[in-house]
Structure 1
Amino acid sequence: MLKMVTIECIRKARFREGKSIRRIAKELGVSRQSVRKAIAGEVQRAYTLSQGRPCSVMDPYRSLISEWLKCDDDAPGKQRHTARRIYQRLADDYGFTGAESTVRAFVAKLRGSKPEVFIPLTADPGEVAEVDWGKVWATIGGERRQVRLFVMRQRFSGVCFARVYPFEKLEAFLDAHMHAFRWLGGVPRTIRYDNLKAAVVKILLGPEREENTRFMALRAHCLFDSIFCAPGKGNEKGAVENGVGYVRRNALVPVPDVALIDEMNESLLTWCERDRGRRSQLWDAERATLLSLPERDFKCSATHLLKVNRLSLVNFERNRYSVPTEYAHSKVRLEAYVDRIEILHKDQLIATHPRQLGRGKDEFLLDHYLDEMQKKKRSVLHASVVRALSPVHSEFLRRLNERGPVEYRKFAEILLLHRQFANSVVEQALARAMELGKYEVSEVHQLALSISGFPCAGKVEVPPQLAAMEISSPDLAAYDSLVGGIVR
């Protein structure tokens, strides 16, 4: 085949210099037929193989590998042969001596796979939003942690809402939606999801899904529709797939270093506002088409039915939360929010605790155990909830024990002051009592009253109608007649 530089020389020699075909062929050392083709302007075609080159290393195994790949059609998707696995089997069982890269290239030709083709998607204003989760790293309170990034992106305008949570659980999923709707000032008519566990309990045939009842309640409350991607087809919501990376690269670089996760969310919200401002023209068109916000907030919690143990504790996610001792051995309903735990008995709220992350942590409230401590006063010596109090409490109890073997009983009564006064007031009262050497319940109570500024009776204003009344002094001699006129 002629090179392009030779073709150029032939055409210039013919058309510029007027040389004959014979002379050109002789000077350039090519055939006259090739010269004629170059003069005729035939474009040189790329060289293609009429048939594949033989592969002496792989050809003996062609039928075997083809059989393996055919059997894979009936195998589970995650248990099919990869090129690496084929290489391993050939080397271990059939004495194959070629390279793994040779096997990879050979398998790729046998499969004849082609990249999937995608179709551009669009949407009308307010028609659809897309939701997805991502993972990001942040330093929170001095600890490097991986947190979950929730992103809701409007398909038409590209406006993003982003918020981070410590987990991807149902309560975070619900809470993120309500924050997004409030920030958007409305609700998209349709939201597209992949098959995340917070929304989908089970994937059924085709587009059908068995959905989480709490997610269905959110949808009924806010009146939006939901559609789900086909399994493994996250590209069907490509806008938010790209949106997660967009937020990660633009709002979370460098790695955030914050004291609390709320501080990180405030920073994200500021970034979302700036990004929305850049899309103001499209956003104005979309905002006008959103559904109205519901009048009432949705309860963003996950419900769990549990039983209180004999220690008046409820076990949840391997952490323990206290309830009043009167509910020991009872069945209760626990509402798990992102930031707190609420425990109810027959629809009556009986305990609220901050939610603990991790495992093996206890959340005790002293008030839950005070009534039982009055019956079992010796328990104050070793009760976990008492030992979790301040060092001042511990020191006061120690001094009581030094004064006598049963003095701890007073401490059980002193603890009741926590129902009347703030913890800080009781702590100051105990510290002051130790300075003064006062260890009686009434003395500590009096000190707490003084510290708390308990209101004293001031000057009483006398009504005018009473101020005008005159009351004569009584004649005390009249009492003598009661005893026979004898004054002793």
Structure 2
Amino acid sequence: MVLDPYRWAELRRFRGLLDAGVMSGSEIARVTGLDRKTVRKYLAAPGPVFPPSRVPSGRSRRRLIDPFAPLVDAMLRAGPAMKASVIHERLVKEYGFTGSYQRVKVYVCDARARIAGELGLEPGELAGMHRRFEVVPGAQAQVDWGDEGRILAHVGIAKVYSFHMTLSYSRDPFCCFTTGQDMRTFFDCHHRAFAHFGGVPMTVVYDRTKTVVRRHVAPGEAVPIHPQAAGFAGHYDFDIDVLAAHRPTGKGRVEWQVLIVRDHVLSGRSFSSLAELDAAFVSWVPLRRAQRHRTHQELIGERAARDHAALKALPPSTYVVAERCLRPVGKDCLVAFDGNLYSVPAGRVRPRQLVEVRATKSRVMLHATHPDAAGVTLLAAHARAPDHGVWVVDERHWDGLPTGQARRTTTGETRTAPRTARGPRQQVRTLKDLLNQSPAVDIEVGRRPLAVYEELTRNGPSRQPPNPQEPS
């Protein structure tokens, strides 16, 4: 068998692997789709072997991929970053291609650059390349979430998440574990991270999480920051850096940390609480800081010391993160928030009125959207319920509402007293008083024999009946 230039270029890449003993001739033959005798012939020959580029007849050898080349070019024009494995899969499934994946990969390697030139695309747009950057100590930290799943399901905790912050200069890590990703929890984790590092970096890098970004915008437009995130960053004096959409490599240092913590802290262990998870990470941190990082080739702990020294000092007060939202008031003067019900004063609200809920970690405050005559908007303040399905009610908020204490029932067996004379100003207020004005027991009823009614029945209704008041 005589190899064409494409197959020879593909095969000679394995010469180094064969010489180093990494791969055998049979493995190379299996990967390339060639006969092992052909592999042995071309890779075992001393010195470079250059196969003829033409067959003895003088014509170029036709490759299996050549009839499908226009299809591959069309796929690359539609999706310049399409993987060769995807193209091979579609060629086999939809067009009956019988060649190996390696044949498609070699062709796509050359065709991709040619198609990119036709479309006027930069090489980085095809390969997903990114610019490596380095920062000075204290300049940047990166934040990300990790989903740890049902690691504590056996103790009744359905879902566990890991919060990660990494200092970009030293790669010094911080991690803590939570049961939610709401805004209050998100910035509470920031408090813990800043305390762990002993200061605040100049910039924190986020992806487009809803706790930082108010809404998504088109590429190239300014990203609107959530007011709570802007207030938190202003209090701690750091800048918010939001990545472009679908660019996770912009915070690859913390992305790697999520995987490292899973492998070195969580893998192969069992835990019974969030506190045990946090303690396991804290005990691992000295091991991490004693390692030499493969990128900057220094001990992480030594660079972390310089990183910590350059951080900004923590402010004297803690920023109180309050969730804010509008909720309607029910007819029962209760407002639903976070799966619980909180009361508001009945005299200051009306049904379906919108009130603003401002919730912190421990308190829930309910405010009117407009101040009253005294300029006050606060309607009620409650301790935050620790669980869901709880009623948090101040009984004074229901003052003035019917209590139901005036409702009464009777069987009618008790005989009422005879009617007494009422003064001119006495009024009938209830149905019972109205019925007692002329009790039936006080009326004299005439008595007649049944013969009288029989007489009326025989003679017809035209005959006048006797006066019922006359004695019979």
On whether the aligned pair clears a TM of 0.5, the verdict is yes
Give the structure 1 partner of residue 74 of structure 2.
Answer: 67
Give the structure 2 partner of residue 169 of structure 1.
Answer: 182
Give the structure 2 partner of residue 249 of structure 1.
Answer: 263
| 1:6-25 correspondence runs (5 A) | none
Q: Which residue of the other structure, out of 363, 380, 405, is the alignment partner of 2:390? A: 363
Percent of aligned positions with the same letter in both sequences? 19
Cα distance change on mapping 1:253 and 1:348 into 2, 3 Å: farther
Question: Per-residue deviation at 1:341?
Answer: 4.8
**Secondary structure of 1:158 counterpart:** coil
Paired AA for residue 156 in structure 1: Y
1:270-300 Cα offsets, whole Å, 9 max, x none, are 5447755875433332222111112221122
Alpha-carbon separation, structure 1, partners of 2:305 and 2:93: 63
Give the structure 1 partner of residue 198 of structure 2.
Answer: 185
Give the structure 2 partner of residue 289 of structure 1.
Answer: 310
Cα distance change on mapping 1:167 and 1:300 into 2, 3 Å: same
Cα distance change on mapping 1:89 and 1:59 into 2, 3 Å: closer
1:345-399 Cα offsets, whole Å, 9 max, x none, are 523542233354xxxx5211354488469842479xxxxxxxxxxxxxxxxxxxx
Question: Per-residue deviation at 1:197?
Answer: 2.8
**Secondary structure of 1:191 counterpart:** strand
Unmatched tracts of structure 2, length 5 or more:
3-45, 55-59, 114-125, 292-299, 369-376, 411-472
1:176-214 Cα offsets, whole Å, 9 max, x none, are 212211222211112222333322233455484222222
Question: Per-residue deviation at 1:301?
Answer: 2.9
Q: Does structure 2 conserve the Cα–Cα contact (< 8 Å) formed by 1:322 and 1:368?
A: no
**Secondary structure of 1:303 counterpart:** strand
1:111-159 Cα offsets, whole Å, 9 max, x none, are 5378555555332221211111111132156246432211111122222
| 1:18-167 correspondence runs (5 A) | 44-45=47-48, 47=50, 50=53, 54-56=62-64, 58-72=65-79, 84=86, 87-88=89-90, 91=93, 96=96, 98=98, 101=101, 105=105, 108-109=108-109, 111-112=111-112, 120-137=132-149, 138-139=151-152, 142-143=155-156, 145-167=158-180
Cα distance change on mapping 1:325 and 1:86 into 2, 3 Å: farther
Paired AA for residue 45 in structure 1: P
Give the structure 2 partner of residue 428 of structure 1.
Answer: none
Alpha-carbon separation, structure 2, partners of 1:280 and 1:248: 20
| 1:453-464 correspondence runs (5 A) | none
Note if 1:233 corresponds to 2:251. no
Q: Does structure 1 conserve the Cα–Cα contact (< 8 Å) formed by 2:72 and 2:87?
A: no
Q: Which residue of the other structure, out of 353, 361, 385, is the alignment partner of 1:354? A: 385
Give the structure 1 partner of residue 210 of structure 2.
Answer: 197
Alpha-carbon separation, structure 2, partners of 1:82 and 1:302: 48
Alpha-carbon separation, structure 2, partners of 1:53 and 1:118: 39
Give TM-score, length-normalised by structure 1: 0.56
Paired AA for residue 159 in structure 1: D
Q: Does structure 1 conserve the Cα–Cα contact (< 8 Å) formed by 2:184 and 2:322?
A: yes
Alpha-carbon separation, structure 1, partners of 2:164 and 2:241: 17
1:308-364 Cα offsets, whole Å, 9 max, x none, are 2113333345x24231462563432223446775544523542233354xxxx5211
Unmatched tracts of structure 1, length 5 or more:
2-42, 380-403, 407-488
Paired AA for residue 347 in structure 1: L
**Secondary structure of 1:297 counterpart:** coil
Give the structure 1 partner of residue 356 of structure 2.
Answer: 333
Give the structure 1 partner of residue 328 of structure 2.
Answer: 307
Question: Per-residue deviation at 1:169?
Answer: 3.0
Give the structure 1 partner of residue 341 of structure 2.
Answer: 321
**Secondary structure of 1:219 counterpart:** helix
Alpha-carbon separation, structure 2, partners of 1:226 and 1:132: 14
Give TM-score, length-normalised by structure 2: 0.57
Paired AA for residue 150 in structure 1: F
Cα distance change on mapping 1:50 and 1:178 into 2, 3 Å: farther
Alpha-carbon separation, structure 1, partners of 2:85 and 2:287: 47
1:255-280 Cα offsets, whole Å, 9 max, x none, are 54224x35533544454477558754
Paired AA for residue 47 in structure 2: Q
Q: Does structure 1 conserve the Cα–Cα contact (< 8 Å) formed by 2:138 and 2:167?
A: yes
Question: Per-residue deviation at 1:107?
Answer: 7.0
Paired AA for residue 126 in structure 1: G
CA RMSD of aligned residues (A): 4.2
Cα distance change on mapping 1:84 and 1:277 into 2, 3 Å: closer
